[in-house]
Amino acid sequence: MPPSRKRARRYDLVRTRTAVQAQFAHVRSAVGTLTPEQLALPTRLGAWTVRELAVHLTTAVSHVTRNLELPEPSGGPGLALDQWPFSTAGRADRIAADTEALAAERPDLDALYAEVAGRFEELVPGVGEDRLLPTRVGVMRLGDFLVTRTVELVVHTDDLNAATGLDIPYDRQALAACTRLLADALAAKAPGGSVEVRIPPFAVVQCVEGPRHTRGTPPNVVETDPLTWIRLATGRTRWSAALDAAQVGASGERADLGDLLPLLG
């Protein structure tokens, strides 16, 4: 597992919690408009249909409340936030099985979304950011775990848009938190200062071993927009395809990130 960054980025708990609620509300509104024919459409997530994807999106939020209902672990957090993307590898089969079971158990999507949103509103506000949660990938602070929920929600909102042709909006703070966490994960995976990765307006990180840039224009620069970055970091878009489509600008002999992506397993 890559080393964690020495200075972890901090996120405002209230803004992150509000972003999770806002993005879930966007998804909930869109899912409520889907016809049976649309729910049966395929997605880019293997054998999942749109309905199974819609069900899985609820777990991004329900996992927060379920973990809060468990006893608080002793000790400190065991998983740094910028390590979370690497902890997702190897869980695909379990996630698929859990999603398919939940989809069979809860046929009424409106009721499921309402229950998940209500439970979050009931349990999460008022809990401090340092409350420890026993997540599936290790003990995490509530504040950090909520940031990971923005990744789940934003990434799967993009999957839902791709499958249905909808234009579900992205909450700005959710998109920002998702972008920043995945950028920090890249810096953790390939520590160094020879390449500057710019994802305006949300993130700038330096990575990759080599001569460190100190002033002026960096010799190695990668620049892209937030959604393209998220698709690259999660394997929805290949580095070479993004370059060919002019969705990424890369200058300098060290500015090829193809071997470092994707970040999520």
| Structural domains of the chain, with CATH | 13-175 (1.20.120.450), 190-260 (3.30.1050.40)
* Sign (positive or negative) of CA dihedral 242, 244, 249, 252: positive
Angle between helices 50-68 and 109-123 (to 10 degrees): 20
Q: What is the pLDDT of residue 6?
A: 54
The answer to whether the peptide bond before residue 73 is cis (omega within 30 degrees of 0) is: no
Global pTM exceeds 0.85: yes
Tens digit of each residue's pLDDT, the chain (265 residues): 555 545 679 999 999 999 999 999 999 999 999 999 999 999 999 999 999 999 999 999 999 999 999 999 998 899 999 999 998 877 778 888 889 899 899 999 999 999 999 999 999 999 999 999 999 899 999 999 999 999 999 999 999 999 999 999 999 999 999 999 999 999 999 999 999 999 999 999 999 998 766 666 778 999 999 999 999 999 999 999 999 999 999 999 999 999 999 998 6
Q: What is the pLDDT of residue 213?
A: 60
CA dihedral 151, 154, 158, 164 (to 10 degrees): 130
Distances (CA, A) of 2 to 58, 84, 85, 135: 30, 11, 10, 20
Burial (CB count <10 Å: 0-12, 13-18, 19+), residue 219: middle
Q: What is the pLDDT of residue 265?
A: 67
- Distance CA(197)–CA(150), nearest Å, equals 21
Q: What is the pLDDT of residue 239?
A: 98
Q: What is the pLDDT of residue 45?
A: 94
Q: What is the pLDDT of residue 8?
A: 79
* Cα distance between the two ends of the chain: 12
Q: What is the pLDDT of residue 230?
A: 98
Residue 150 backbone zone (phi > 0: left; psi -120 to 50: alpha; other: beta)? alpha
